[in-house]
Structure 1
Amino acid sequence: MAYTRGNLAVKEKASQERVTQQRYKETTKVVTRRTGLPAREKILYLITLVAVILVGGALMSRYAHIYDLNKQAQSTISDIKVYEKTIADLQVEKETLNNQVIENAKQLGYVEASGKDVIYVPRSTSTKSTGTESSSNTASSK
């Protein structure tokens, strides 16, 4: 017998009846069948899916092309910076070589021509063709 809050007078039959009543319970289940989609609707979904895929592919290809152009532009800019540095180095080297030419000429005994001195240098040709002789005659006659 169970002891419940100080009361020993408990019916055992009531608890046994509850257990027997809950043993069987009737339930009804509604089963619905889902019908398939009509052919037109399937084709519509398929066409929509293909259109979305084509638009997405076109956008992705455009973005890939833009990315490629940006990459080419950045590499060109970096190449330009390298070439500008090389040009600056060559300009400095050119200036030093020009200064060395003047110094070397003075060491060899050459003198700078003044503005009044005019130097005529006749043209000499190594080949004997009539075209070059006529051009040398016109140059010397001027």
Structure 2
Amino acid sequence: MAYTRGNLAVKEKADERGYKAQRYRETTKVVTRRAPLPVKEKLLYMVTVLFCAAVMGGLLWQNASLYNVKRQMYNLNTDIQAISAEIKELTIQKEKLEEQIPQKAAELGYVEPVDEGFMIEVPANAKTGGNEDEITTARK
């Protein structure tokens, strides 16, 4: 090694040493290999994914059942509205027919009673077990 101006750490020139500088440069590439995941860690990840999928499936199932209930409610409401309209129509038809009762009765020969109330014919001796030929009338 040469002594250069009081410093021994100075690098010598390649020409002074007697051999030429290299024309290529050696490079090394560091390859790092990842170690495979341990079995326990793989199982943990798999159980976590399965749990998340189960929770999502449960939520989906609950949503589907809720949708079905809402759809049934809607169908029942439409049925109720249709039946209500039919009841109104039948009520109107009933009132029209009730108005026609006296006219039809007169056509068939029925007459309205003069007195209010109704008459019941009861045999006179029904309670006593006597003669059944006698009939009395009672008014209510």
Q: Taking structure 2 as the reference length, what is the TM-score of the superposition?
A: 0.62
Higher relative contact order (CA 8 A, sep 6+): 2
Cα offset for 1:112? 3.0
Distance 1:100 1:107 in 2: 11
Q: Which residue of 2 aligns with 1:67?
A: 67
The one-letter amino acid paired with 1:60 is L
Measure the CA separation in 1 of the matches of 2:121 and 2:70.
57
Give runs of aligned pairs for residues 1-142 of structure 1, distance below 5 A.
Answer: 27-113=27-113, 116-120=116-120
- Displacement after TM superposition at 1:31 (Å): 1.4
TM-score with structure 1 setting the length: 0.61
When residues 40 and 141 of structure 1 are mapped into structure 2, their CA distance, relative to the original with a 3 A threshold, is farther
Amino acid at match of 2:119: I
The one-character-per-residue Cα deviations of 1:11-40 (angstroms, maximum 9, x if unpaired) are: xxxxxxxxxxxxx67654321111110111
Alignment size in residue pairs: 103
Aligned to 1:12: none
**Secondary structure of 1:120's partner?**
strand
Structure 2: gaps of 5 or more residues: 1-23, 123-135
Identity of aligned residues (%): 36
Tell me, in whole angstroms, the C-alpha distance in 1 between the residues paired with 2:137 and 2:25. Answer: 133
Equivalent-residue separation in structure 1 for 2:42 and 2:77 (angstroms): 52
Cα separation, 2, equivalents of 1:31 and 1:92 = 93
| 1:38-72 C-alpha deviation (Å, 9 max, x unpaired) | 11101111111111111111110000000000011
**In 1, distance between residues paired with 2:111 and 2:28?**
124
